[in-house]
Amino acid sequence: MEGGRRTPWVWLVALGGLAFATACASADEPLPGESDSRPASRSSRDSSEMDRSNVSDDGSDEQSHPGAIPYEYVSDHGRPYLTPGALEEPPVYQPPLPEDPGVVVLRRLNRLEYNNTVRDLLGTALTPADGFPDDTDSDFDTSAQALTISPIHARQYLAATEVLLDDLYTSPERLATVVDCDPVAEGRVCAEGIVARFAFRAWRRPVSDSQLKPLFSLFDVAESQEEDLATGVRLALQAALLSPHFMFHVELDEDPNSSEPHALSEYELANRLSYFLWSSMPDAELFADAESGELSTDAGLESAVERMLADSKAEALVDSFAKHWLLLDAMEKHIVDPGAFPAFDDELKLAMIHETRLFFADFLQKDRPIPELLTTRLAFVDARLAAHYGLDYSGANFSRVNTSDSVRIGLLTQGTILTATSGSAQTAPVKRGRWVLKNLLCSAPPPPPPDIPALEEEDDGSPKTLRERLEAHRSDPSCAGCHQLLDPIGFGLENFDAVGQYRTEYEGQPIDASSAFVDGRSFETPEEMARLLSEDPALKKCVTQQLLSFALGRDFGKGRDDDRLWIGATSQAAGEGAGLASTIRAVVMSDPFRLRRGQEESP
């Protein structure tokens, strides 16, 4: 890793007893996990006219860009942050094929996928993956990089298959769906049939004789141990569940060393689709669509998406995609300081999480336009949450309420978002700003620096608000680059404390929520800020990008042609009103979702 480029860094540090303040400093070295070339990589590129000569195959630039716009003023997609004009209208999608769909790496089932798959495969109510090591990572838990396998996993897999089969064999009705003839009475043909039919479903694709042979060999092992053929069948079922064909999302390349894009096989497409929308295996109908060839037609694929989104299994998107995207997971783990907020308890926390889940599901089911995520005046609350928010609702159950007369507007004023981006006792404006930039606009500033000195207390004796200290801090030009992007959003939300309750003052000082984005657009209230953000064309694109990252298990946006690919997908969605469901549909119809390629052998 070569140093040399001086990058302004942002980082959160504790400031005395305060939870989060900010400080930043110049650092000569990038942080582990951050490529040296990354920040400037797209600054010199235009989305529609790309010079490939300076881009390597893995998507990283190999040349530096001495004349490039300083990174801090430029978003990942090559336009100044929050500057209107550059891309106000989605560009017209022109498919200059072949585009590079990027490399999708073999990944295993994550915990949710494992549980859902065995539910649909075996009809079990057990969720054996709950005890597997945590898959949660910095990205979606479909990220191939994060889904490692160790002997600890393998032990758990072995134990899980035993538990699952014990469970199956205690339920005659369910067992009959798998073991549908009597191997002891009918012999080997019956036994092989059971195993072959099961392997097809468990492996979610047609199975060859040579792949079945090792399973059939377990019949002989059983015999040699003086066990009957029924035991042999059970052993084979267990082996099928331990097979890499079960454990992985298998997608094959005829020529794994060729980077020429090719269409996924129909069964592979069926699997991508069902794990994207359901976090589970395809059902019989989807298998039939794959078998008939229906799925490879645009019309067939579209109607499959319609059907699957309408199925209750699509609620998995809340537990998979929204869990990470909208901080449901982070909120669950978030700890609020009981000293600072004695009234905050698990009931309130769960209510907040439930609100965000219902909110996301509502957008999904109704295909509500994405900008409304930030501006809707509808909230989902129960009495407890309503009281916390200062809303007038006393029903015990969750209900949709109109918040037109309140300060609550859209996602940004929800307890989940406001709390999970705070410290345990105090707000963290920079963290809030960073979350909005990263998850809603896909233009986060660089990750934290390796090391920074703590922000010095001003010692002129006069008390300063956090905002005043941050602003003083921004007078340092090397800090300003990042902080002028991060801080305004954080300031705009300062009327909401670390558990999302509205406030007009903090520690005796009035809160000033007015600020301005770097392009000059200013706002006075959280509502005005939310409206400005909702108008940013980056929002729609970012949602598409997040969905693609989740669906493909790779960090979408880093690949060579990702810019063009997701702009294409967004344009399609925009034509249909840019609702959340439409965007999901567009993602499925997009090239990166339907194509794959191998990877040239690298040293």
- State which of positions 500-519 bind other proteins (CB under 8 A): none
> Cα–Cα distances in Å, from 349 out to 143, 345, 402?
27, 6, 21
Query: Which ranges constitute the DSSP H helices of 328-465?
Result: 328-333, 346-366, 372-375, 383-389, 415-420, 429-435
Q: Are 250 and 205 in contact (CB under 8 A)?
A: yes
Which residues 417-446 are close enough to bind other proteins by CB under 8 A? 423-425, 431
Least distance (Å) between residue 428 CB and other proteins: 9
Rounded to a whole number of angstroms, the minimum distance from the CB of residue 190 to other proteins is 19
SS3 of residue 400 by DSSP: strand
By CB under 8 A, the residues from 8 to 27 that bind other proteins are: 12-17, 19-20, 27
What lies within 8 Å, CB to CB, of 245 at 6+ separation is: 199, 202, 203, 205, 207, 211
**Adjacent-strand bridge partners of 475:** none
415: burial class by Cβ within 10 Å (0-12, 13-18, 19+)? buried
| Residues within window 256-275 making contact with other proteins, judged by CB under 8 A | 256-257
**Contacting other proteins (CB under 8 A), which of 74, 215, 295, 411?**
215
CA atoms in the 13 A half-sphere facing the CB of 475: 5
Which residues inside 16-75 make contact with other proteins, applying CB under 8 A?
A: 16-17, 19-20, 27, 29-36, 38
CA distances to 457, 468, 476, 553 from 473, rounded to whole Å, are 11, 8, 6, 38
Question: Looking up tokens 């010079």, which residue turns up?
Answer: 51
Q: Nearest approach, Cβ of 110 to other proteins (angstroms)?
A: 12
Smaller CB separation from other proteins, 121 or 381: 121
| CB atoms inside a 10 Å sphere around CB 201 | 21
Site for other proteins in 130-149 (CB under 8 A): 131, 133-134, 136-139, 144-149
Q: Which is nearer to other proteins, 386 or 412 (CB)?
A: 412
What track of x and - describes contact with other proteins for positions 338 through 357 (by CB under 8 A)? Answer: xxx-----------------
Within 101-130, which residues bind other proteins (CB under 8 A)? 103, 105-108
Binding-site size for other proteins (CB under 8 A) equals 99
For residue 214, the minimal CB distance to other proteins (Å) is 4
Question: How near is the Cβ of 450 to other proteins at its closest, in Å?
Answer: 3
Residues 471-500 that bind other proteins (CB under 8 A): none
Whether the CB-CB separation of 72 and 5 falls below 8 Å is answered with no
234 vs 564 by CB, closer to other proteins: 234
| Residue 156 sits in the site that holds other proteins (CB under 8 A) | yes
Query: For residue 100, which phi and psi values (nearest 5 degrees)?
Result: -85, 115
Identify which of residues 332 and 576 has a Cβ nearer to other proteins in the complex: 332
Residue 214 or 390 with smaller CB distance to other proteins:
214
Question: Least Å distance between CB 106 and other proteins?
Answer: 4
Q: What angle do CA 320, 326, 332 make, to 5 degrees?
A: 80
Closest distance to other proteins from the beta carbon of 164 (Å): 13
Site for other proteins in 364-423 (CB under 8 A): 423
Q: How far apart are CA 524 and CA 519, in angstroms?
A: 16
Which range, of 216-224, 314-322, 366-374, 521-529, touches other proteins by CB under 8 A? Answer: 216-224
Question: To the nearest whole angstrom, how small is the minimum distance from the Cβ of residue 431 to other proteins?
Answer: 8
- The residue ranges of DSSP E strands in 151-294, in sequence order, are 262-263
Closer residue to other proteins (CB): 69 or 105: 105
